[in-house]
Amino acid sequence: MTLLEIVNISYLVSAVLFIVGLKRLSSPATARSGNLLAATAMLLAVVITLIDREVLDYIQILSGIVLGSIIGAVFARSIQMTAMPQMVAIFNGLGGAASALVASGEYLKLSSYESIGIEYSFTIALGAFIGSVTLSGSFIAFGKLQGIVTSNAVSSMVVRGSNPILFIALVGMIAGIIIAPENDLLFLSLIITSLVLGILLVMPIGGADMPVVIALLNSYSGMAAAAAGFALDNLLLIISGSLVGASGFILTQIMCDAMNRSIWNVMFGAFGAVTADSSDTNNQVNQAISTTAEDSAIILAYAKSVIFVPGYGLAAAQAQHQVRELATLLQSRGVDVRHAIHPVAGRMPGHMNVLLAEADVPYDQLYSMEDINEDFERTDVAVVVGANDVTNPVSRDVPASPIYGMPILNVDMAKTIIFIKRSLSPGFAGIDNPLFYNPKTRMLFDDARRALTEIVNAIKTL
């Protein structure tokens, strides 16, 4: 068997391991082993590539790998679970950057060839384009999640209007690179324009749409790797990249469905400007009933069943451990406690699940929207911690509302609702939540963490 055959068989084994690994990632019981399997596949692919290429100077490569491993490991160990969306955003960006660099490296090689196949220069240009868009888009997404970049939907006409122009320019540049591959300036402008497009694509997207954006960038990072695979004519890169592309796309679709919006609407439709109709719908009472931690404690302690509804505010206040403490305390008093998780609660897909898991909440107490929605009407108390739009009954009852049709958690069906929130301010969508003024609702105006701690202390003294 030649070395080339051994290498290709090893790549095939790697590809199979990636597929099996991903499959195992789709069940809680096997997920950890699936991740390990995928990591093993990666190690195999790297080792076999190094053997294959008869590397003369291992020092450079190994120092690159060691440096990358140290940085990656430090990140992975030190990151707080609340900051997981930021971490995934950065990693998506780095993956995109690596793909763009690989495409650039291939481009530099081009000049040494006599004749260049069209498909070769095309895939290189494509890899540079997708990689660069992923890079800059991810860093803007990171900036928004971190609060460095303003999180309002900056839907200025300039940004919206310039994207199609940029896109047409990029198509022109890619065509130009196919025709004149030796023009370095053209390649450089392709990368710069792609970076600008990435910034402008993510810039107008608001905070609550972040789960969609992160999932989409995840998909892009896979596609960038696949494009690099085309440029290098490497099947393992193509297979693994497209698997990731597909998985990111599925998540994007799930997130969009959970908001009853199309991906087109999230990316290009401004949101939040439409608030006019909300004032008409609830002019009736507009009197929210506020409560105290002590009163909430009594309501909760004597309830039979309680459902917690966590949202982004839980992550912002780092209150996941307090939720767990309260839940455990209530369970020890015989209360049936569950957690209801909306698909787009938080800033990335599955964000709330990770936070509650970190706080030791067993995953069989976490319920998805479709599994728990019918149970709200038989539930004594629903406690909303830092969620808002995903509980807003307007999306069910008011056809004129911009969020009409978005699936919500039926929190308003519960016998009593405790809303832990800093103020009556509307959520990201800019739409007032009639649930605040529901006679069954008690508003607890406080920071989630402090409020929950006070409730726990109050229950202990009962």
Partner 1 sequence: MIEGLLVSLFIFILAIFLGFEVISKVPSILHTPLMSGSNAISGIVLIGALIVVVRTDEMLGTVVGIGAVVLATINVVGGFMVTDRMLQMFKKGPSENNP
Site for partner 1 in 352-381 (CB under 8 A): 353-354, 357-358, 360-366, 368
Which of 253, 258, 224, 256 shows the shortest CA–CA distance to 241?
224
Q: Which 250-289 positions form the footprint of partner 1 (CB under 8 A)?
A: 250-251, 254
Nearer CB in complex with partner 1: 261/338: 338
32 binds partner 1 (CB under 8 A): yes
Nearer CB in complex with partner 1: 348/443: 348
The single-letter code of the amino acid at 107 is Y
Q: 155 in helix, strand or coil?
A: coil
Asked whether 135 and 96 are in contact (CB, 8 A), the reply is: yes
Which of 97, 207, 84, 100 shows the shortest CA–CA distance to 151?
207
Q: Which 224-253 positions form the footprint of partner 1 (CB under 8 A)?
A: 224-226, 228-251
Nearer CB in complex with partner 1: 109/378: 109
**Minimum distance of partner 1 from residue 12's CB (angstroms):** 11
26 binds partner 1 (CB under 8 A): yes
**Minimum distance of partner 1 from residue 71's CB (angstroms):** 5
Q: Identify the bridge partners of residue 161 per DSSP, sorted by sequence position.
A: none
For residue 426 the two structure tokens come to 């509307």
Nearer CB in complex with partner 1: 127/206: 127
184 binds partner 1 (CB under 8 A): no
**Minimum distance of partner 1 from residue 195's CB (angstroms):** 15
Which is catalytic among the residues 209, 360, 389, 446? 389
Q: Which 33-52 positions form the footprint of partner 1 (CB under 8 A)?
A: 34-36, 38-39, 42, 45-46, 49-50
Nearer CB in complex with partner 1: 97/317: 97
Question: Look-up: residue for tokens 């982004």?
Answer: 312
Sequence-distant (6+) residues with CB within 8 A of 37 are 17, 20, 21, 24
Q: 208 in helix, strand or coil?
A: helix
DSSP 290: B
Asked whether 445 and 293 are in contact (CB, 8 A), the reply is: no
Nearer CB in complex with partner 1: 138/438: 138
User: Is 432 labeled as catalytic in the residue annotation?
Assistant: no
Q: Which 79-138 positions form the footprint of partner 1 (CB under 8 A)?
A: 79, 81, 84, 87-88, 91-92, 94-95, 97-99, 101-102, 104-106, 108-109, 117, 119-120
383 phi and psi, to 5 degrees? Answer: -110, 115
Asked whether 411 and 377 are in contact (CB, 8 A), the reply is: no
- Single out the residue of 3, 9, 60, 148 in contact with partner 1 (rule: CB under 8 A): 60
For the chain, the straight-line distance linking the first and the last C-alpha, in angstroms and rounded, comes to 77
- Single out the residue of 203, 215, 256, 394 in contact with partner 1 (rule: CB under 8 A): 215
Dist CA 405 CA 452 (whole Å): 32
**Minimum distance of partner 1 from residue 460's CB (angstroms):** 14
Q: Which 321-350 positions form the footprint of partner 1 (CB under 8 A)?
A: 325, 328, 341, 343, 348-350
For residue 162 the two structure tokens come to 């310039």
Asked whether 284 and 317 are in contact (CB, 8 A), the reply is: no
Q: Which 403-462 positions form the footprint of partner 1 (CB under 8 A)?
A: none
Residues classed as catalytic: 389
